[in-house]
C-alpha cells in the first residue's frame, strides 16, 4: 500500500518535472547543432519509455536523482558536521524548488548555471567522498541516462556517420538480412518449447528431478552437463528474466539495458563509487557479454591454483582445467576474427607494441561475426556463441525444460538434524514469482542447483534463511571480489572507425599487477558513459567520436567485498565494496600504460572518466594527469565480472560450498556460478565460470 502510494507520487513528480528535465538535458548535453541538435522533449519521451520498463527500485532511484539534482551548491563547506549537514539540507531544498526558475531562464543563463554547478561540485568532490548520498554520482547517473536517450536518436547516428551494421562479404548465422534478421532456428526452438512454472511445478514420482536456478554461464552449463550425464532425468532450468532472442534484440541502448540488464545496469556499491553489471534474460550475462573466453594458462593458471590452495582449497585442478576445452569447442572459441577488428584496436595495439608491451588477439566465441559492435545489447545475428545460442538450445532439444520469467523468491528449507552449532537441512521446493503477477508457484525437485550469479545467489540463500551451516557464523555474501575496469579514451588525427567492428580486439597482459588491458569500444548510446564532460565540451568530444578509441585496464581486486542487508539498497540488499589505495595504484598504472600507448601512436588528447572532465594532450604530462587518482575523482569504475559471495571452502565456517560445490550442511543443494569463486581470476571469467559449473555438475550424485 505504502509502496504503491510512493510509486504514484513518484510518477506525479516525474510528470510535473518533464519540461524541466527536457530543458536540463538540452543544457547539460550542450544543445548541439544540425544533426546533433539536442531535442529535450524527444529525450524525455525515451526516458519515460525506459522508466515504464524498469523495476520499481530503478524507477524510484531515477526520480530521486531528478529530485536531488544539485542545482545550487554551497560556495564552501564548514568543518563541523552539524553545520555541514544543515548547509547541505538548505542547498538541497533550494535546488528542489529551483526547477521552475531553471526552466524560465534563458539559454545563456542555463548554460552558466550548469557550468557553475559542475565547478562547485568539482571543488566539493573530496568532501562528498564520505557522504551517504553523493550528488556527484546522482548527477552523473542522470546525465548518462539523458545522454543515452540522446544518442539513441537515429538522427544523431546519421550525424555521427554510425550505421547499426556494415554489410560484409560473408553472412552471419541468421542469414543475409542484416537490417531485420529473421528468428533463427535455435530461437524458434526456445520460443516453441518454453514452459510456464505451473506446467513443471509437480514432481513425478519415479523420475529424478533436478532444478537449476539461473540460466547464465553457470546455470546453462550445469543443466546441460546434468542432462548429458543423466539423460533419463527431468531437468528444469528456471530464469528470472525474459526469453529474448536474436530477432528481438535491437540497437537502442536505453531500451536494451532496461530489458537485458539487472537493475538496468545501474547497480551501485553501497558507497555509490562502483557500478556492477549483470545480465538478466535467458542466457544471463552471456547474452550481453563480449564472448571473450580465456582459458587461464601459464602464469594465470598457476596463480589461480596458488591463491586457491593458499585458502586450503584442494580441487582436482587437472580435471577442472580439462573442462575448459570441451566447453570452448562448443562455443567455437578462437582468436577474434581479423575481418572485424577495428582500425582503433590496430592503432592502440601498435602503440602498446612500440612501448614494448606484447599484445595478443583475444580468444572469443563467435561464428561469422559481422562486427556490428553491439555484443552488450544481445547479438541480432546469433553470431555470438552465448549460452542462449549453444547450451540452452542443446538442453531444450534433448528434452530439458526452460522456464523464463520465473523468479525464485526463496528456497523451502527443511531442517533435518541439528548437533551443537551445526545443522543439516534439505530443500524441498522453490517458490517462484512470475512476471505476469500471477500467484507464486511452488516447484518441487530432488536436487537443486543455484546459479543466479554472484550477488543474486547470495540474496536467494539469505532470503531463504540460510546464512551458513554453522549457527552464528554468516558465510553467505562474504568474500565478494571483482575484476574492475575503467576506460581510457584517446582522440587521434585519423578516423579510427571504432564502431565498425568487434568491441574487443586485443589484450595486453600485466601479470605482476594481475591486470589485463583490453582494446574496446561501445555503441553511441553507451559512449555517453565515457564522455564525462558537459555542455559545449560534451558536444566537442562527441563530434570527434569517429576519431576516438577506448581501452579498458581490468584488474582483479582482493575478496574484501560483502553483500549486506540494507534498507536503502536494491530490494533490501546492498554491495559493500570500496576500492583500496592499492587498487587505485594499479588502476593508475594500467591507465598510464594505455595513455602512453595512445600518445605513441599520435593521439592528440587522452582522457579518463574523471568527473572534472580534464584531459591530457602530451605524453610528458600523463604522470601528473593520473597522479593519485582515487575516490574523490569520481571515476566510473565498473565490474562486469563479479565473483564470490558463496565461496568454496573446505570448512563450513569459512565458506558456503565444499570442494564439490555442495552447500555445507545441505543434503541436496549445489551452487554452480561465479559466486563460488574464492579469489578473483583477472582474466575474463565466463569460461572459468562454465568450467567450474561443469566440474560441480559432474560431481552431483545421480543416485536418488
Ligand atoms: C556487459 C558484460 C560483458 C561481459 N563480457 C565478458 C566477456 O567478454 N568475457 C567473459 O569471460 N566474461 C564477461 N562478462 C562476465 C560474464 O558474462 C559473467 O561473469 C558470467 O556470465 C557469470 O556467470 P553466472 O552464471 O555466475 O551468472 P550470470 O551469467 O549473470 O547468470 C545468472 C542468471 O541468473 C538469473 N537470476 C538471478 N536471480 C534469479 C532468481 N532469483 N531466480 C531465477 N533466476 C535468477 C539472472 O537473471 C541471470 O540470467 C561480462 C558481463 C557483462 C555484464
Ligand atoms: S559484434 Fe557481437 S553482436 Fe555484432 S555480430 Fe558480432 S557477435 Fe553479434
Q: How far, in Å, CA of 350 to CA of 498, rounded?
A: 15
User: Ligand 2: does its nearest atom lie under 6 Å from the Cβ of 375?
Assistant: yes
User: Which ligand 2 atom is nearest residue 502's CA?
Assistant: 1
Q: Are 30 and 531 in contact (CB under 8 A)?
A: no
- Supply 92's cell numbers: 538541497
**Can you tell me the mean pLDDT for 537-564?**
94
Q: Are strands 515-520 and 573-576 parallel, antiparallel or unpaired?
A: unpaired
Q: How far, in Å, CA of 650 to CA of 657, rounded?
A: 8
> What is the full DSSP assignment across 207-238?
S-EEEEE--SHHHHHHHHHHHHH-TTSEEEEE
Residue 532 has pLDDT above 90, yes or no: no
CA nearest neighbour of 426 among 440, 446, 407: 446
Residue 258 has pLDDT above 90, yes or no: yes
Percent of the chain with pLDDT over 70: 100
Q: How far, in Å, CA of 637 to CA of 38, rounded?
A: 27
Q: Are 28 and 111 in contact (CB under 8 A)?
A: no
User: Which ligand 2 atom is nearest residue 382's CA?
Assistant: 8
Query: Which of the 8 DSSP states describes residue 661?
Result: S
Residue 271 has pLDDT above 70, yes or no: yes
The answer to whether the pTM exceeds 0.85 is yes
Distances (CA, A) of 629 to 52, 626, 634: 38, 6, 9
Residue 592 has pLDDT above 90, yes or no: yes
Ligand 1 centroid to 302 CA: how many Å? 25
User: Which ligand 2 atom is nearest residue 371's CA?
Assistant: 1
User: Ligand 2: does its nearest atom lie under 6 Å from the Cβ of 365?
Assistant: no
**Can you tell me the mean pLDDT for 55-78?**
91
What confidence tens digit (pLDDT) does each residue in 650-676 have?
Answer: 999 999 999 999 999 999 999 999 999
**Confidence band, pLDDT 50/70/90 cuts, at residue 528:** confident
Q: How far, in Å, CA of 53 to CA of 257, rounded?
A: 10
Query: Which of the 8 DSSP states describes residue 616?
Result: B
Report the number of secondary-structure helices (H) and strands (E) in the chain: 24, 22
Residue 453: CA atoms inside 13 Å, Cβ hemisphere, count? Answer: 29
What confidence tens digit (pLDDT) does each residue in 184-235 have?
Answer: 999 999 999 999 999 999 999 889 999 999 999 999 999 999 999 999 999 9
CB atoms closer than 10 angstroms to residue 205 = 5
Which ligand neighbours the alpha carbon of 504 most closely?
A: 1
User: Ligand 1: does its nearest atom lie under 6 Å from the Cβ of 691?
Assistant: no
User: Ligand 2: does its nearest atom lie under 6 Å from the Cβ of 502?
Assistant: yes
Ligand 1 centroid to 307 CA: how many Å? 24
Sole residue written with cell 582445467: 321
Q: How far, in Å, CA of 375 to CA of 293, rounded?
A: 14
> Which CATH number is correct for 185-335+362-368+379-472+649-673+683-697, 3.40.50.2020, 3.90.1640.10, 3.50.50.60, 3.40.50.800?
3.50.50.60
User: Ligand 2: does its nearest atom lie under 6 Å from the Cβ of 371?
Assistant: yes
What confidence tens digit (pLDDT) does each residue in 594-607 have?
Answer: 999 999 999 999 99
- Supply 255's cell numbers: 531500451
Which ligand neighbours the alpha carbon of 451 most closely?
A: 1
The sign of the dihedral angle between the CA atoms of 422, 426, 427, 428 is negative
Ligand 1 centroid to 40 CA: how many Å? 34
pLDDT at 529: 73
Ligand 2 centroid to 689 CA: how many Å? 22
pLDDT at 285: 98
User: Ligand 1: does its nearest atom lie under 6 Å from the Cβ of 286?
Assistant: yes
Q: Cα 264 to the chain's mean position, in Å? A: 9
What confidence tens digit (pLDDT) does each residue in 478-513 have?
Answer: 999 999 999 999 999 999 999 999 999 999 999 999
User: Ligand 1: does its nearest atom lie under 6 Å from the Cβ of 608?
Assistant: no
Query: Which of the 8 DSSP states describes residue 332?
Result: T
- Indicate the domain borders of the chain: 2-159, 185-335+362-368+379-472+649-673+683-697, 481-639
- Residue 541: φ, ψ to 5°: -70, -45
Rounded to 10 deg, the angle between the 40-53 and 56-67 helix axes is: 140
Query: Which of the 8 DSSP states describes residue 264?
Result: G
Residue 570 has pLDDT above 80, yes or no: no
* Residue 440 CB partners (closer than 8 Å, separation 6+): 409, 431, 432, 433, 434
User: Which ligand 1 atom is nearest residue 456's CA?
Assistant: 38
pLDDT at 323: 97
Mean pLDDT score across all residues of the chain: 94
pLDDT at 20: 97
Residue 129 has pLDDT above 90, yes or no: no
Residue 704 has pLDDT above 70, yes or no: no
CA nearest neighbour of 291 among 367, 234, 359: 367
CA nearest neighbour of 533 among 149, 141, 143: 143
**Can you tell me the mean pLDDT for 14-43?**
97
CA nearest neighbour of 512 among 578, 598, 580, 585: 585
**CB-based burial of residue 521 (10 Å sphere; 0-12 exposed, 13-18 middle, 19+ buried)?**
buried
User: Which ligand 2 atom is nearest residue 369's CA?
Assistant: 6
CB atoms closer than 10 angstroms to residue 155 = 13
Ligand 2 centroid to 470 CA: how many Å? 47
Q: Are 573 and 583 in contact (CB under 8 A)?
A: no
Q: Cα 29 to the chain's mean position, in Å? A: 25
What confidence tens digit (pLDDT) does each residue in 430-478 have?
Answer: 999 988 778 999 999 999 999 999 999 999 999 999 999 998 999 999 9
What confidence tens digit (pLDDT) does each residue in 609-643 have?
Answer: 999 999 999 999 999 999 999 999 999 999 999 99
Query: 566 or 359: whose pLDDT is higher?
Result: 359
Q: Are 381 and 178 in contact (CB under 8 A)?
A: yes
Ligand 2 centroid to 331 CA: how many Å? 14
Which among 260, 334, 370 is the best mutation to test ligand 2's pocket, defined by most ligand atoms within 8 Å of the CB? Answer: 370
Q: Are 285 and 265 in contact (CB under 8 A)?
A: no
Lowest mean pLDDT across 276-285, 377-386, 513-522, 523-532: 523-532
Q: How far, in Å, CA of 531 to CA of 545, rounded?
A: 10
Amino acid at each position: 500500500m505504502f509502496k504503491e502510494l510512493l510509486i504514484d507520487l513518484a510518477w506525479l513528480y516525474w510528470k510535473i518535472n518533464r519540461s524541466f528535465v527536457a530543458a536540463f538535458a538540452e543544457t547539460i548535453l550542450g544543445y548541439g547543432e544540425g544533426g546533433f541538435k539536442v531535442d529535450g522533449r524527444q529525450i524525455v519521451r525515451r526516458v519515460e519509455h525506459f522508466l515504464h520498463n524498469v523495476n520499481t527500485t530503478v524507477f524510484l532511484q531515477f526520480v530521486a536523482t531528478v529530485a536531488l539534482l544539485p542545482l545550487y551548491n554551497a560556495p564552501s563547506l564548514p568543518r563541523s558536521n552539524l553545520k555541514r549537514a544543515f548547509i547541505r539540507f538548505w542547498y538541497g531544498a533550494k535546488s528542489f524548488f529551483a526547477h521552475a526558475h531553471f526552466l524560465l531562464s534563458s539559454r545563456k543563463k542555463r548554460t552558466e548555471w550548469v557550468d557553475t554547478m559542475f565547478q562547485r561540485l568539482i571543488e566539493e568532490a573530496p568532501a562528498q567522498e564520505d557522504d551517504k548520498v553523493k550528488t556527484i554520482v546522482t548527477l552523473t547517473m542522470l546525465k548518462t541516462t539523458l545522454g543515452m536517450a540522446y544518442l539513441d536518436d537515429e538522427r544523431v547516428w546519421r550525424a555521427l556517420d554510425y550505421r547499426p551494421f556494415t554489410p560484409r562479404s560473408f553472412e552471419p548465422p541468421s542469414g543475409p538480412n542484416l537490417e531485420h534478421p529473421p528468428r533463427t532456428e535455435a530461437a524458434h526452438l526456445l520460443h516453441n518449447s518454453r514452459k510456464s512454472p505451473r506446467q513443471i511445478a509437480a514432481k513425478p514420482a519415479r523420475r529424478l528431478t533436478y532444478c537449476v536456478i539461473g540460466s547464465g554461464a553457470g546455470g546453462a552449463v550445469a543443466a546441460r552437463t546434468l542432462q548429458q550425464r543423466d539423460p533419463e532425468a527431468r531437468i528444469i532450468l528456471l530464469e528470472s528474466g525474459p526469453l529474448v532472442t536474436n530477432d528481438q534484440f535491437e540497437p537502442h541502448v536505453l531500451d536494451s539495458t532496461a530489458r537485458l540488464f539487472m537493475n538496468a545496469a545501474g547497480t551501485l556499491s553501497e558507497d555509490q563509487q562502483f557500478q556492477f553489471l549483470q545480465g538478466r534474460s535467458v542466457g544471463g550475462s552471456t547474452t550481453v557479454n563480449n564472448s571473450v573466453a580465456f582459458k587461464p594458462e601459464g602464469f594465470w593458471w598457476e596463480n589461480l591454483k596458488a591463491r586457491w590452495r593458499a585458502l586450503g582449497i584442494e580441487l582436482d585442478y587437472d580435471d577442472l582445467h580439462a573442462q575448459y576445452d570441451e566447453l570452448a569447442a562448443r562455443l567455437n572459441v578462437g582468436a577474434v576474427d581479423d575481418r572485424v577488428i577495428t582500425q582503433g584496436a590496430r592503432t592502440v595495439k601498435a602503440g602498446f607494441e612500440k612501448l614494448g608491451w606484447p599484445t595478443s588477439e583475444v580468444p572469443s566465441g563467435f561464428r561469422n561475426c559481422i562486427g556490428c559492435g553491439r555484443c552488450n545489447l544481445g547479438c541480432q545475428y546469433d553470431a555470438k556463441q552465448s549460452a542462449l545460442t549453444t547450451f540452452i538450445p542443446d538442453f531444450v532439444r534433448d528434452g530439458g525444460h526452460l522456464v523464463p520469467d520465473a523468479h525464485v523468491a526463496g528456497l523451502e528449507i527443511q531442517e533435518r538434524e541439528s548437533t551443537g552449532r551445526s545443522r543439516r537441512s534439505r530443500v524441498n521446493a522453490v517458490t517462484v514469482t512470475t512476471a505476469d503477477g500471477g500467484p507464486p508457484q511452488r516447484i518441487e525437485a530432488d536436487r537443486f542447483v543455484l546459479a543466479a550469479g554472484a550477488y543474486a545467489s547470495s540474496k536467494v540463500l539469505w532470503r531463504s534463511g540460510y546464512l551458513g551451516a554453522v549457527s552464528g557464523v554468516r558465510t553467505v555474501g562474504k568474500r565478494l571480489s571483482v575484476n574492475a575496469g575503467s576506460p581510457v579514451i584517446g582522440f587521434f588525427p585519423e578516423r579510427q572507425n571504432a564502431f565498425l567492428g568487434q568491441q574487443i580486439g586485443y589484450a595486453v597482459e600485466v601479470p605482476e599487477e594481475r591486470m589485463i588491458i583490453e582494446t574496446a569500444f561501445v555503441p553511441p548510446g553507451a559512449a555517453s558513459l565515457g564522455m564525462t564532460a558537459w555542455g559545449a565540451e560534451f558536444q566537442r568530444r562527441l563530434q570527434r567520436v569517429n576519431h576516438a578509441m577506448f581501452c579498458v585496464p581490468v584488474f582483479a581486486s582482493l575478496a574484501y567485498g560483502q553483500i549486506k542487508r540494507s534498507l536503502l539498497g536494491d530490494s533490501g540488499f546492498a554491495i559493500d565494496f570500496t576500492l583500496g589505495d592499492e587498487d587505485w595504484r594499479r588502476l593508475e598504472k594500467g591507465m598510464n600504460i594505455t595513455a602512453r600507448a595512445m600518445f605513441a601512436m599520435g593521439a592528440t588528447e587522452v582522457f579518463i572518466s574523471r568527473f572534472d572532465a580534464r584531459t591530457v594532450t602530451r605524453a610528458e604530462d600523463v604522470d601528473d594527469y593520473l597522479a593519485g587518482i582515487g575516490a574523490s575523482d569520481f571515476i566510473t569504475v565498473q565490474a562486469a565480472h563479479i565473483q564470490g559471495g558463496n565461496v568454496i571452502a573446505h570448512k563450513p565456517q569459512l565458506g558456503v560450498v565444499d570442494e564439490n560445490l555442495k552447500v555445507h550442511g545441505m543434503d541436496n543443494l549445489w551452487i554452480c556460478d561465479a559466486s563460488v569463486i574464492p579469489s578473483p581470476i583477472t582474466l575474463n571469467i565466463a569460461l572459468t565460470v562454465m568450467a567450474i559449473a561443469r566440474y560441480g555438475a559432474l560431481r552431483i550424485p545421480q543416485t536418488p
